[in-house]
Structure 1
Amino acid sequence: MPSAKSLQAASCADDYDPNSLPVEKARQLIRQFLVPLTGTERVSLRAALGRVLGEDVISPLAVPAHDNSAMDGYAVRHADLKPEEETQLRVVGTAFAGAPFRGTVGPGQCVRIMTGAIIPVGADTVVMQEQVQCDGETARIGPGNYKAGQNVRRAGEDLKPGQVVLARGKQLRPAELGLLASLGIGEVVVFRRLRVAFFSTGDELVSIGMPLGEGQIYDSNRYTLYGMLARLGCEVIDMGVVRDDPAALEQAFREAAAMADVVITSGGVSVGEADFTKDLLDKLGEVVFWKIAMKPGRPLAYGKVGGAHFFGLPGNPVSVMVTFYEFVRDALLVLMGRSDLGPLPTFKVRCVTALKKAPGRTEFQRGILTQEPSGEWVVRVTGEQGSGILRSMAEANCFIVLPQDQGPVPAGSLVEVQLMEGLV
């Protein structure tokens, strides 16, 4: 966690401005304060999906365990094959996957073999069945440039005993589960789940199921936050709505920090009479920064409260999701122990709509990426880009990322597109 000394050092940096921090600088500051979890637990293979390995997995055996055939055909001795004329061999048996041929292939002999079957003793090459004509017990192999060892999968060519199969910090996807199962491994050590507590702030917020009073709105932020946190595999602690009251907020912060690794709030970080968050953080912890040169999402706080990391997200629904994707997501993955991290994928495509943009802030406009009949991928904005238009996030499958010094973008221009997690 950031200490008072480290925070002071960050705030004294030459290019550090807590009131207008560039996006990349904010990411760098957050990253330097992140220390991954150390707690682990052992879980069954099926329960490990989406979890992060807490230790290296070492292969207990060779994969494949034996030399075996890569296709249906005939196991032969390469020395018997005649490149310039037909080769005739006597078929002395059949090898199946799980039922190997028990004899030995001698000179002038071959064995019918199925994909995955163990290469018989004496044979060293497999000729695919399409190149062989079989007449009773005689196999006729046409002339050709056959290579010794062709169509043979060697023992241990995938994994060798003692080899690191999966490294600590690797997230377990379906492919990894299958790989571990192929080694007979039924349990793995994973990092414990990251505990994240979150709550919304604001007297205007009403929970679902309650009637709306004048000037009140339903709290949507807790549901988007829940969805994003749950999809990352966090242990989610929803603390509800906390009113704009210093005593209630202080109690909520203390309780959240006592039970969680990370505390996330929405609302209460902009400048206003009812925004007590910053004052409370000065009392209960430390603040690294509280404003970002970005749109939407300028009011964003990062620091600590008690022993927990703290992210104070804006109150506007779109701003909550954008700041989560751009800052919180990566930080949580680092804390979860992920070692295979990279930014959300980006690439350039043609934008078919003109974009409004003034220099001075990095913008994350909501976009819809589609493929034209010609095969070209293009992007267009979802429409109005106001930070309160949550529908724009529901329609979007990407962000159009416009750099800080970018001005208006004419239709037809190439723009940087960032895929949202879950698109592919």
Structure 2
Amino acid sequence: MNCHCAEIVTPGLLDLFDARQRLIDAATPINTVETITLEQSAGRVLAETLVAPLDMPGVDNSAMDGYALCLADYQAAPGGAGLPILQRVPAGAGVMLLPEGGCARIFTGAPVPMGADIVVPQERVTLDQRGHIHLEGSLVLGANIRRQGEETRMGTPLLAAGTFLDAASIALLASHGINTVNVKRRLRVALLSTGDELITPGTARAPGQVYDSNRAMLNVLLAQAQCDVLDLGVIADSPQSLHQAFEHAQTAADVVMCTGGVSVGEEDHVRPVIEQRGGLHFHGVAMKPGKPFAFGYLGAEPASSTPLMALPGNPVASLVGWQLLALPFIHAMQGRSVAALQSYPVKAGFSQRGPRGRCELLRVVLDWARELPVAQLAGGQGSHMLSAASQADGYLMINPETDVAEGSTYHYYPINQFAA
């Protein structure tokens, strides 16, 4: 997908989707592997493809509480006499042989006796005075029987290398008796903010000072993405301070991430320092907010250097840059399979002038009062306004030179897809 910025973009800016793909393509996955227990594996990335050690299910078993029988025996019973209950099969029992001329009381998950070819749910069974069963409704051979190996066969792929281990995948491994896994080690990310105006939350603020929200935000986002964070704090707006911070960061971490100082003003020193210590792959993306995003490296050669992502100083621009650009790069570095961006069409419940030269990501909430959702602005759209970002359900993407018309349809990107 492309936001079509390249056709009418401000000169020198890279199309958003081109920038995203360049980041993914540039990532070199870490190759160090650790062996850990299944209990420790939540949020880790599989280092190898796992194959099923067992058939799943291991035997034919019942999908219902009911009665297991041979349908032909029931149909052959004289005068609709039904079948006597000659066996009881609880979950955890071994595989039994169905008694000739009778049926088995069976429970969900219990092995289906050999000779039975149908399980009838107890809701469709009545018992006569002799304790014989009588069945109601249509009868289909094989009904309510989970066949051995119908989910997975022993030796077939279970989870691919690069799989992010969440609750469902961990449960799958546990169901096969697997209790240790080989995973990629955690990615180490050095994080720093730049700006003489920044102070730590909780300290007294003088006029002109600003609390550092970016570092607080990115610490959480990196932790949610299962990264180990080296927090280098706030770095002064001076080339010397940046040189010292980057020198430490490039040797201590797999990735360096900084915020602020990446524009082109007289006090924006990040770009020239990056170029002196390494180089830039690109600087400037045709997106609003987030235009100053930069991607480069620290070291002599790109292939053997430490990658660096410089996010804008405005907090909403930093957040959007993280979600759309930095996060897929982090996933690729971790060896994860990078998911494609998910979007669907949603109508706008407002009108406003469209962006010029860049695609714009409007922070919106979905109004479900009607049959179909309608996007409404979550609040002020300034790149410094975290209140709207904290309330938004997603982004309405508006192409350059396109005005927003109430009732018209635009691409909507739900924010929950960026949850690490």
Q: TM-score, normalised by structure 1?
A: 0.90
Q: 1:360/1:283 Cα in 2 relative to 1: closer, same or farther (>3 Å)?
A: same
Give the aligned partner of residue 413 of structure 2. 418
Give the aligned partner of residue 171 of structure 2. 178
Q: How far, CA to CA, are the matches of 1:324 and 1:367 in structure 2?
A: 18
Q: Verify the 8 A CA contact 2:62 2:107 in the aligned structure 1.
A: yes
2:143 is the alignment partner of 1:150: yes
Give the aligned partner of residue 96 of structure 1. 90
2:396 to 389, 400, 414: 400
Cα deviation, residue 176, structure 1: 1.1
Q: Verify the 8 A CA contact 2:124 2:137 in the aligned structure 1.
A: no
Q: Verify the 8 A CA contact 1:349 1:416 in the aligned structure 2.
A: yes
Cα deviation, residue 271, structure 1: 0.9
SS in 1 for 2:208: coil
Give the aligned partner of residue 3 of structure 2. none
2:348 is the alignment partner of 1:351: yes
1:218-233 equivalence runs, <5 A:
218-233=211-226
Q: 1:142/1:214 Cα in 2 relative to 1: closer, same or farther (>3 Å)?
A: closer
SS in 2 for 1:331: helix
Cα deviation, residue 87, structure 1: 5.3
Q: How far, CA to CA, are the matches of 1:422 and 1:109 in structure 2?
A: 54
Q: How far, CA to CA, are the matches of 2:232 and 2:54 in structure 1?
A: 48
Give the aligned partner of residue 21 of structure 1. 14
Give the aligned partner of residue 4 of structure 2. none
Q: Verify the 8 A CA contact 2:287 2:359 in the aligned structure 1.
A: yes
2:213 is the alignment partner of 1:217: no
1:68 to 61, 64, 79: 61
SS in 2 for 1:237: strand
Q: Verify the 8 A CA contact 1:18 1:289 in the aligned structure 2.
A: no
RMSD of equivalent CA atoms: 2.4
2:309 is the alignment partner of 1:311: yes
Q: How far, CA to CA, are the matches of 2:76 and 2:184 in structure 1?
A: 57
SS in 2 for 1:63: coil
Q: Verify the 8 A CA contact 1:86 1:140 in the aligned structure 2.
A: no
Q: How far, CA to CA, are the matches of 1:81 and 1:185 in structure 2?
A: 42
2:252 is the alignment partner of 1:259: yes
Amino acid at match of 1:316: N
2:367 to 366, 370, 376: 370
Q: Verify the 8 A CA contact 1:82 1:144 in the aligned structure 2.
A: no
Cα deviation, residue 244, structure 1: 1.0
Amino acid at match of 2:357: G
Give the aligned partner of residue 105 of structure 1. 99
Amino acid at match of 1:361: R
Give the aligned partner of residue 340 of structure 2. 342
Task: Note the alpha carbon deviations across 1:198-238, whole angstroms, 9 max, x for none.
Answer: 10111111112322223111111101111211111111111
Q: 1:64/1:301 Cα in 2 relative to 1: closer, same or farther (>3 Å)?
A: same
Q: 1:101/1:220 Cα in 2 relative to 1: closer, same or farther (>3 Å)?
A: closer
Q: 1:98/1:137 Cα in 2 relative to 1: closer, same or farther (>3 Å)?
A: farther
Cα deviation, residue 321, structure 1: 0.5
Give the aligned partner of residue 205 of structure 1. 198
Cα deviation, residue 303, structure 1: 1.2
SS in 2 for 1:421: helix
> Which sections of structure 2, spanning at least 5 residues, go unmatched?
1-7, 300-304
1:274 to 267, 273, 288: 267
SS in 2 for 1:264: strand
Q: How far, CA to CA, are the matches of 1:357 and 1:190 in structure 2?
A: 46
SS in 2 for 1:176: helix
Greater mean deviation of Cα atoms: 409-418 or 319-328: 409-418
